[in-house]
A and B are shown apart, each in its own frame.
Chain A
Amino acid sequence: MKITMAHGSGGKATSELISEIFAKNFNDPVLDRMEDSAVVPGCAKIAVTTDSFVVTPLFFPGGDIGRLCVCGTVNDLLMSGAQPRYLTCGFILEEGAETGDLQRIAASMASTAKEAGVRIVAGDTKVVEGSGGLYINTAGVGFLHAGAAIGPERCREGDAILLSGNLGDHHAAILSKRMGIENTIRSDCAPLTEMVGRLLAGGVEVHAMRDVTRGGLGTVLNEFASSSGCRMELDEGRIPVSAQVRGFCGILGLDPLYMGNEGKMIAVVAPGGAEKALACMRKSRYGADAAVIGRVGPKGESAVLLKTTVGGTRVVGPLYGEGLPRIC
């Protein structure tokens, strides 16, 4: 059934939509009360984040916009050293969107939220004119761990830089269809709750964490270099990229260092903890290909340097432009 303006009017059509799709899938006692606000237990210090999701296509190999919106929000909270607790979701539906798709998306959100240990406690729906598009905005709340002092400014010379797995999967999965290239690349879209939990409970001194999303590894590490004032030194040969993604990048002239991911993170840890941190990542569901990819260099030159496989060194700058496929 197609979404029409009636679904957004606030009347019967709207409440049916909400109860049959959202409430049914999210299955949350606070949400079910359908009050003006969700009133939930809190904490002394909370982390709050918001994000919007506009990906097309809505369904792609390895995920969908629903899974993506939960993972993206949850991961942002985790990276700040918070335990993700609550999510809200506002849907903007264009006329012509399919309720069947919405069911699948809501179901996906519910299962991802369960995996991530969060509750979806509030939502909203609006319908606008258009041609079937669908956008989701989320807000996330997490409880800060006591004593959590994690941030890029804490990076020190000698720290180890870890990457939790292969680069470029999400970006390649989305772009493949658009460019008429067939492969079995799947988005890496995943909540990193388990991985971060293991790291923080694993007796490792974690100085900084960030998920590697839009703009890729190159962008994140430049932000770290800038915040800490330290040089970031990477070893090209240690950076994990699947053979398939490498091939994909080769066809289009893309660089995996700048491609988007949705289930990968960087952790900067004190030198003694590199082995343990790596073990924590590898034990986690989404960390099979985790690797130590470099170290933090001295303060004074906030650049990202890459030792190339051929033995040279190059500067990895922040991403400029859109990272479009090249031919030339």
Chain B
Amino acid sequence: MTDIRAYLKNYGGPPLRLMEVCGTHTAQISRCGIAGMLSPAIRLISGPGCPVCVTVTAYIDRLVELSLEPGTTVLTFGDLLRVRGSRRSLNDARAAGGRVRMVYSPMDSLRIASAAKSGRFVFAAVGFETTAPVYAMLLEEAEQADIRNLRLLTSLKTMPPVIDWICKNQGGIDGFLAPGHVSVITGSRAFEPLSRKYGIPFVVSGFSGEQILASLYALVRRRGKAGVLNLYPSAVTAEGNREAQRAVAHYFAPCDAAWRGMGKIAGSGLALRAPFARFDAGSLGLDDDRSFNPRCRCAKVLTGAVSPPECPLFGGACTPRTPQGACMVSQEGSCYNYFVGGRGSR
């Protein structure tokens, strides 16, 4: 491990841009202070790996509306509470009398809905391939228990299409740190076609500082070579979790999805299948994306086109205390981590 550190610190080869596309990787890189351990020739770019950051404003607006409907409560992960739609966040809605409740697991909403049969509940179902199976489990139990007062407002997205979008529309990436827990579900094989299409190495990485460093090392060593390397074999296999994939496919079908700052990306989302429409709180058509602040550059930051300090609002009008866009609100957002961790500046 010491040798890997020395190698990365002293690397003097051609400059490389390596991207992570998992918000938890972004947060860990920041927490461990990894950017500062690398040679200046290795540049780490944060990609659209935070499901909260890539949610379009129309989705948040709809949640806010629902929370203010008499008799309806919005249940959500903590991450979503501070993100603003075109005007307000769920926290703002709560202050205005809206019903919003934070939970640790989507499964908690079953208990909550069963205990309050006269109430209507909507779960803010955001996430990538890691969380989709959890929603599938939720729906299975809701069906079995015949729960009628719980629905999902979905903003589920999948990784390969957005990685493809970045490579096609942005380019300039020399290697991808493949998302570790997404890969648990999809399997490392899911990234093979992209790797071959663009001739870029992918490495599936775990989440400890050591694992991330080893994965970065592997990406540097394999520059220019296609192929997916699995450095998280204790949790990730080539084919992934088949049962989880089956459960997701049973309840959801691929659809086009709108990503903040990127517009619609074909086949990049998951929507409830028609037989389960009664569990849908009106997720389709929430495509509008209107930045709260017109000078916000989250769109460009999310794809790695612009680094956080290159946004005109960064550190001035936009700080964690006064966030203007999702990248600064979310604890997995690029701007938040850059600001708080001093990422790249040491």
Contact = CB atoms under 8 A, between A and B. Distances in A.
Decide if A and B are genuine partners.
yes
Interface of A: 179-181, 251-253, 255, 303, 305-315, 317, 320-321, 324-328
Nearest to A179: B104
Contacts of B114: none
A252 B37 CA distance: 28
Contacts of A315: 340-342, 345-346
Interface string B328-346: 0011100010011111011
Interface in B305-346: 319-321, 330-332, 336, 339-343, 345-346
B36 interface: yes
Contacts of B330: 328
12 contacts: A252-B104, A310-B210, A310-B213, A312-B34, A313-B346, A314-B36, A315-B340, A315-B342, A320-B321, A321-B320, A324-B79, A325-B102
A312 B216 CA distance: 14
Given A321-B82, A327-B79, A328-B50, A314 B342 contact: yes
What are the nearest 3 A-B pairs in CB distance? A312-B33, A310-B209, A320-B320
A52 to B, nearest CB: 21
Given A307-B33, A328-B51, A328-B127, 8 more contacts: A255-B31, A305-B346, A306-B33, A308-B33, A309-B209, A312-B36, A321-B320, A325-B102
Given A252-B104, A313-B36, A314-B32, A328 B320 contact: no
Contacts of B30: 314
Contacts of B36: 312-314
A306 B52 CA distance: 28
B77 A327 contact: yes
Contacts of A314: 30-33, 36, 341-343, 346
Contact of B23 (A309, A310, A328): A328
A317 B78 contact: no
Contact of A317 (B23, B77, B82, B340): B340
B241 interface: no
A298 B298 CA distance: 36
A219 B343 CA distance: 19
Among A251, A311, A317, A328, the one with the most B-chain Cβ atoms within 10 Å of its Cβ is A328
B78 A320 contact: no
Nearest to A305: B346
A267 B316 CA distance: 34
Nearest to A252: B104
B342 A327 contact: no
A320 B127 CA distance: 23
A317 B332 contact: no
A162 B332 CA distance: 31
A312 B36 CA distance: 6
A171 B34 CA distance: 28
B104 A180 contact: yes
Contacts of A320: 319-321, 336, 340
B239 interface: no
Contacts of A307: 33
Contacts of A325: 78, 102, 104
B32 A312 contact: yes
A312 B37 contact: yes
B189 interface: no
B182 to A, nearest CB: 12
A39 B155 CA distance: 64
Contact of B24 (A180, A251, A324, A328): A328
Contacts of B331: 253, 321, 326
A314 B209 CA distance: 13
Contact of B34 (A181, A253, A310): A310
B286 interface: no
Nearest to A251: B104
B267 to A, nearest CB: 22
Contact of B32 (A181, A303, A305, A310): A310
A251 B341 CA distance: 22
A328 B77 contact: yes
B340 A308 contact: no
Nearest to A306: B33
Contacts of A317: 320, 339-341
Interface string B189-217: 00000000000000000001110010000
B135 to A, nearest CB: 12
Contacts of B131: 327
B31 A308 contact: yes
B21 to A, nearest CB: 13
B104 A328 contact: no
Contacts of B37: 310-312
B72 to A, nearest CB: 22
